[in-house]
Structures are given as structure tokens and as C-alpha cells.
Amino acid sequence: MERRAVIICTDSSRRGVFFGYMSEDQTDSDVITTGIVKLIGAKMAIRWGTTRGVMELAYTGPTAESRISDPADCVLNGVTSIFNVTAEAEEKWQKS
């Protein structure tokens, strides 16, 4: 199964920012419509540690100031946005 690295943000009642792998059979429009996504190897950004907002986590990855959780497979509800992750950022997420 093909997967892609993404950052998922959840609504204000959940207020989560997660990195993980979304299967290609989950389309962005379906995820936003239902608000539900399954992530493989998800990690939560407990503290972003960025100077340029959440999109920095997708573009360049976690910083030395970021605090990142251990990984787990999960299903998230309340999805509000999906960001594709660059190869550089993915590598940093994997090491965090």
C-alpha cells in the first residue's frame, strides 16, 4: 500500500498537530469531509518549537525546540487541514 507523509491538524476542541503516514486510498477531500483519518506511525507535536508556524513543521520539520511524542498508529477525528511533508522534514520527524 502506498503511503505519504503528512501533517494533520485537528479542530480547536482537540487542538492537535500530528505527523504520520496516510494511505493513498484516503483522499484529502474525503478526510476533510468526514474529519477522520488513519495515520501510521503518527507522532504528535507537543510543542511546535517553530518560528514560522505549523507549516514550518511540514516544510523543514521539527526544530531543536520542538517536543515530539513517540509514534503510534491512530485514527484522528476533527481533521481541519492536511499538509504534505517534504523529504527534509520527513527525515527530521523520523529522527525526533
Chain center to CA of 41: 10
The CATH number fitting domain 3-95, selected from 3.30.565.10, 2.30.30.100, 3.40.50.620, 3.40.190.10:
2.30.30.100
Q: Where are the domains of the chain?
A: 3-95
Q: What is the pLDDT of residues 61-91, one digit of tens each?
A: 999 999 999 999 999 999 999 999 999 999 9
Q: What is the pLDDT of residue 22?
A: 97
Confidence of residue 1 (pLDDT cuts 50, 70, 90): confident
How many helices and strands, by DSSP H and E, does the chain display? 3, 6
Q: 44, 1, 47, 55: which is closest to 19 by C-alpha?
A: 44
pLDDT tens-digit series, residues 27-69: 999 999 999 999 999 999 999 999 999 999 999 999 999 999 9
The Cα 68–Cα 44 span in angstroms is 6
1 Cβ contact partners less than 8 Å away, ≥ 6 residues apart: 23, 24, 25
pLDDT for res 13:
78
**Contact (CB, 8 A) for 29 and 14:** no
pLDDT in tens, 6-35: 999 999 777 899 999 999 999 999 999 999
